[in-house]
Amino acid sequence: MPEVRASLRRLGWSDQYELEFAALEQEGLEPARVVAQHRGAYVVHDGDGDAWAEVAGRLRHAAASPADFPAIGDWVAIRRRPDGEGAIVHAVLPRRTVFSRKTAWTETVEQVLAANVDVAFLVSTLTDELSPRRLERYLTTAWESGAEPVIVLNKADLCAEPLAPVAGVEAVAIGVPIVLTSAETGEGIDQLEAWFAGDRTGALLGSSGVGKSSLVNRLLGEERQETHDIRSDGVRGRHTTTRRELIPLSGGGLILDTPGMRELQLWEADEGFDSTFRDVAELASQCRFNDCAHDTEPGCAVREAVSTGVLEPERLASYRKLQSELAHLERRVDKRLAADERKKRRNFARSRRKAKW
């Protein structure tokens, strides 16, 4: 294996990537990983160092949507500029995992937040801001991404009685590991470090103020990520992370700190939805009718579980809300695809008419 490929191993390069890159290597391209993303430009690492990179015009024109452009964590094929100043990205290797969300507002477009992440650390706090409903949304997206989800409950030093909130999280994060941490005292940091063994990539995801950047600083052993002081009550400490960046850890692996998300709208998360609500799915399999909507149908095992206290009504309400959101998104995407096809047909017909002239 070329020396550069061996040095890429610590960035997560694998034998599978080696096979996928074989054809691109014949074109004289080199492999690199996107470690930072800016507007219109990227920072890539080729195993020896960083370089600024831009997307090739051919790749830019071939992109059907913003999701086709490189994202943080992607492995890409680059060619160095003749003057040695930066590089051009000519291809994006197939993604093993993709953490996506629907763009904000009314636009129905996929936004890739991170690619090729092995572990998705879903960070919340053990303070009053802990929301099981928000965790369900993050879990759905994490399961759908293909990454392994881990719940991180930060600011453990501010919670004298963690048993009750942890039990509430366990009820919605079925089978998902839960780690209690404190960026202030260092509690739980060694448990997080274990997830990076084998040069794995981990991403910290969560709302603003949950302490993601402080946890990154603890993992790095230095104050690299800038943070603001928290309020005297310790509830909210908003950090200043405004971009995504992959940072290598001294013990191996890479950590991705992300800006806090005010909202996380789902994007095509069928499998992720089923994994998050597997308890509801198991109950639904016992309903009298296969197409039971768990509303007024007789013999509904889901409603029976709610009436007997086996299933919390808030859990069912969240299930219905996210299910409706996904169904609405599916209809929007189908309409958009149909509109795109109509536009292509119109353009094709127009080009044929011009050819006749």
- Give me the mean pLDDT over the 250-279 stretch: 85
pLDDT digits (tens, 9 = 90+) for 277-297: 999 999 999 999 999 999 889
pLDDT value at position 262?
64
pLDDT value at position 235?
42
Domain 277-346 has CATH 1.10.10.410: no
- 98-257 CATH choice from 3.40.50.300, 3.40.50.720, 1.10.540.10, 3.60.15.10: 3.40.50.300
Is residue 243 over pLDDT 80? no
pLDDT digits (tens, 9 = 90+) for 64-99: 888 999 999 999 999 999 887 899 999 999 999 999
* Residue 315: pLDDT band with limits 50, 70, 90: very high
pLDDT digits (tens, 9 = 90+) for 95-144: 999 999 887 666 778 889 999 999 999 999 988 778 899 999 999 999 99
Domain spans of the chain? 3-92, 98-257, 277-346
pLDDT digits (tens, 9 = 90+) for 160-208: 888 889 999 999 999 999 999 999 999 999 999 999 999 999 999 988 8
* Residue 6: pLDDT band with limits 50, 70, 90: confident
CATH number of 3-92: 2.40.50.140
Q: Do domains 3-92 and 98-257 have the same CATH topology?
A: no
User: Three-state SS string across the chain, please?
Assistant: CCHHHHHHHHHCCCHHHHHHHHHHHCCCCEEEEEEEEECCEEEEECCCCEEEEEECHHHHHHCCCHHHCCCCCCEEEEEECCCCCCEEEEEECCCCCEEEEECCCCCCCEEEEEECCCEEEEEEECCCCCCHHHHHHHHHHHHHHCCEEEEEEECHHHCCCCHHHHHHHHHHCCCCCEEECCCCCCCCHHHHHHCCCCCCEEEEECCCCCCHHHHHHHHHCCCCCCECCCCCCCCCCCECCCCCEEEECCCCCEEEECCCCCCCECCCCHHHHHHHCHHHHHHHCCCCCCCCCCCCCCCCHHHHHHHCCCCCHHHHHHHHHHHHHHHHHHHHHHHHHHHHHHHHHHHHHHHHHHHHC
pLDDT digits (tens, 9 = 90+) for 20-30: 999 999 999 99
Query: pTM for the full model?
Result: 0.84
pLDDT value at position 231?
42
pLDDT, averaged across the chain: 86
* Residue 58: pLDDT band with limits 50, 70, 90: very high
